[in-house]
Structure 1
């Protein structure tokens, strides 16, 4: 491969979008060969074992090749897309133009293409990855976690097609070659240098603005350092009510079970993505931490009345108020009263690590499987702030837009099985956490209240905890405190 070609073609590799992830599945391509792309433009959506993530391309140019089809699982470090950063040129300026006559075999796409491909492979092994090397030479800093995997950890794939031989052909042959590669019209539209005053926004926000037809240049940013947020985009569409809302992404829509063939007695479904990660985590947790589960049935009639009152409170306007909000607050108060329950077991150092912060996980059933994003520093949030964070967490999970970061660092978790009409359960701890609270269905039941049997709103709570660091007394005190608060919500004021 000549210096021209290595400069002209940039390869974007599958980055590690989480911590230590080794592979990801390509859910959807947003570009095709021949499309013009700009630095920061989202080109595809991938699904890791933790979440669905949109990947922005760090180059300007024309898409030359998509290396993998949708639905393919790709290892981290594998090249997934090639971009021609100098469409219409025969190579870099410092290199002298090649001789006008082109080798005959190259024009028929036969043996010439094969020799060109092998040549590029040999060059790649000597000079390293094109994607890594050219990014360094251009002075561009990778913007994705894990981008630029060590060259020794990935295998260079030989270029398919005769693109690698373009700098060695004449101008006429290069034009024919460009037409064969699907970007013959690109030279007529030279790639412009990206404007340095382009509004700052994350790729998902840019896509949202594109879906809503909003020009980012017209939005006044409210985020830190002048970054445009999702709220800014939605606010820009408020005056025009008929603006079409962003359509659900097909890639994260519920995956319909395979339709069995006529007479089939069984169906096999590949285990991958979130389902695979969840299974591994649950097996590891169940057979590592000794689980103990305790139950309590509690009258939550007063809590339900408080929920109705808060819905009418002006301080809570614009946020969703439901029983889960008060249950979460009750758990946070119980943790404040018994901080040693918010801990983790460090097997390597044989230590109990008590956390002085609470990242409150909320188990969410999504079309992609069970996700447990968490509210960072939930212990510091007021009730309105907690309600807003809880609403955003749930809506983001249902849209399939939960990020890997949102699911990292949880300390305790709540799982609301009551929404499915279930009384309670024995939940399994999330790895690295010490406790998980299951909330059952709230039902109108006969209950002895002030010496008389009355119809009251009743639910059952189940607290599972790691018996290595939480004994029965501590676990019972925490569960009893949660129940007491839900039975008498005024304790939120006196105990908080």
Structure 2
């Protein structure tokens, strides 16, 4: 019998929440098979099994938060192995020899889906393979473990399960047209559930308490530490970005960019990388113990992303070395991973400068707080058609936005911050100026 304890998956993890189990008591599993999703302070992480065998016990329920080192699952000898059956003394050494976590040793080439122990129709098998993030189906009871039938578990991805959990909804009660319960299914169920109460009588109002944990807990602690440690200075500039918008539209029709998303954020990201060449102090960090300013060699460009679990800031390593197409591809992959809730801790470490696009919410400007360890963050406001006085003193409609730059005044002087912001604005006013940087 082998006990699998909650490991530290990186960044000095002290605890994690059990989000979704992908196995159940009686299931036979293989080495490196994904068995559970956990939520750390930064992201949702899939944990693989270091052992092969039969699940004999699950110690921690979904939704529980436990410290690192807590036994979360017990795995015994495989019931299909006649040599090990009934001999627990052989089960643990065999499991230890195969204790290889994903990313820390050779893979066995096995599927990450849990093994089906009964015959299934081809259509069901195809659907399971097409939805690798969904929860597994119901298996018959294992005669060696329990004679009680397992309850039916609705198929749903972790973010959908969290939405249902936050509203106290049993996913099995949510009607759905497809094989898995989607976010729209849950939202429709919530709306339908609330309608009868609204018709009958006004709902009693009261305080709602939301537990602060996981990503939101980390964000809260980091923002407080940043706001009260680094002396923030924020500067704004409002500018005509009609030339940038024209460039974006032109690139959207360029066959070389057909496989990536082109947006104003892409041009801003490129402008930031170019402007940091002329003001490298913005790409630096304050080393408090050494009382030194450390200017970073690479621009690890952070992109703030709002997700169901809170704000995350994954970064693109060495963004200054990328072509515009490569940068667009990296932005697309970063955004897709963040929205799926699969950003890994390593992707959110080592950032040197951050961009946050608050304009997607229709906000003109704001005072962004520095990502801890960084000396600069640029907020991109809404890009809107507004009346603008041109060089001929004529009032014309133009695409206008506001940039807000916050920086650490221990590292960056006002002159340096102003020069950097002016450089970014100049490129967005006239992207052709990028050739001069």
Give me the TM-score of the superposition, normalised by structure 2. Answer: 0.78
1:90 corresponds in structure 2 to: 86
Q: Is structure 2 residue 281 aligned with structure 1 residue 340?
A: yes
Q: CA deviation at 1:265?
A: 2.1
Q: Is the 8 A contact 2:33 2:110 kept in 1?
A: no
Q: CA deviation at 1:59?
A: 1.1
Q: Is the 8 A contact 2:32 2:48 kept in 1?
A: yes
Equivalent in 322, 326, 335 of residue 385 of structure 1 = 326
In 1, the alpha carbon distance for the partners of 2:131 and 2:39 equals: 28
The 3-state SS of whatever aligns with 1:28 is: strand
Count residues in correspondence: 368
Q: Is the 8 A contact 2:299 2:353 kept in 1?
A: yes
Q: Is the 8 A contact 1:338 1:478 kept in 2?
A: yes
Name segments (4+ residues, structure 1) moved above 6 Å. Answer: none
In 1, the alpha carbon distance for the partners of 2:162 and 2:348 equals: 20
Q: Is structure 2 residue 3 aligned with structure 1 residue 62?
A: no
Change in 2 beyond 3 A, CA 1:364/1:82:
same
2:73 corresponds in structure 1 to: 81
Q: Is structure 2 residue 292 aligned with structure 1 residue 351?
A: yes
Q: Is the 8 A contact 1:254 1:368 kept in 2?
A: no
Q: Is the 8 A contact 1:15 1:145 kept in 2?
A: no
Q: Is structure 2 residue 369 aligned with structure 1 residue 459?
A: no
In 1, the alpha carbon distance for the partners of 2:28 and 2:110 equals: 20
In 2, the alpha carbon distance for the partners of 1:247 and 1:324 equals: 32
Spell out, residue by residue over 1:64-109, the C-alpha distance to the aligned partner (whole angstroms, 9 max, x if none).
0000110000110111000012547222578xxxxxxxxxxxxxxx
Q: How does 1:407-486 map to 2 (within 5 A)?
A: 407-451=348-392, 452-486=394-428
2:184 corresponds in structure 1 to: none
In 2, the alpha carbon distance for the partners of 1:439 and 1:474 equals: 19
Equivalent in 395, 403, 410 of residue 336 of structure 2 = 395
In 1, the alpha carbon distance for the partners of 2:76 and 2:12 equals: 30
Q: How does 1:48-447 map to 2 (within 5 A)?
A: 48-87=40-79, 89-91=85-87, 134=92, 138-143=96-101, 199=109, 213=129, 248-250=157-159, 254=163, 258=167, 262-447=203-388
Change in 2 beyond 3 A, CA 1:252/1:307:
farther
Q: CA deviation at 1:138?
A: 3.7
Spell out, residue by residue over 1:200-248, the C-alpha distance to the aligned partner (whole angstroms, 9 max, x if none).
88x59x9xx98663799xxxxxxxxxxxxxxxxxxxxxxxxxxxxx974
Change in 2 beyond 3 A, CA 1:12/1:144:
farther
1:40 corresponds in structure 2 to: 32
Gaps of 5+ in 1: 1-8, 95-129, 147-195, 217-245
Equivalent in 8, 12, 25 of residue 4 of structure 2 = 12
* Structure with greater Cα Rg: 1
Q: Is the 8 A contact 2:32 2:107 kept in 1?
A: no
Q: How big is the alpha-carbon RMSD for the aligned residues of Structure 1 and Structure 2? A: 3.0
Give me the TM-score of the superposition, normalised by structure 1. Answer: 0.69
Spell out, residue by residue over 1:132-161, the C-alpha distance to the aligned partner (whole angstroms, 9 max, x if none).
xx5799444542699xxxxxxxxxxxxxxx
Q: CA deviation at 1:18?
A: 2.2
Q: CA deviation at 1:17?
A: 1.3
Spell out, residue by residue over 1:429-481, the C-alpha distance to the aligned partner (whole angstroms, 9 max, x if none).
01100100000000101111122110000000000000001010000000000
Q: CA deviation at 1:268?
A: 1.1
Q: CA deviation at 1:43?
A: 0.7
Q: Is the 8 A contact 1:258 1:267 kept in 2?
A: no
Gaps of 5+ in 2: 116-124, 133-154, 169-193, 198-202
2:136 corresponds in structure 1 to: none
In 2, the alpha carbon distance for the partners of 1:442 and 1:253 equals: 33
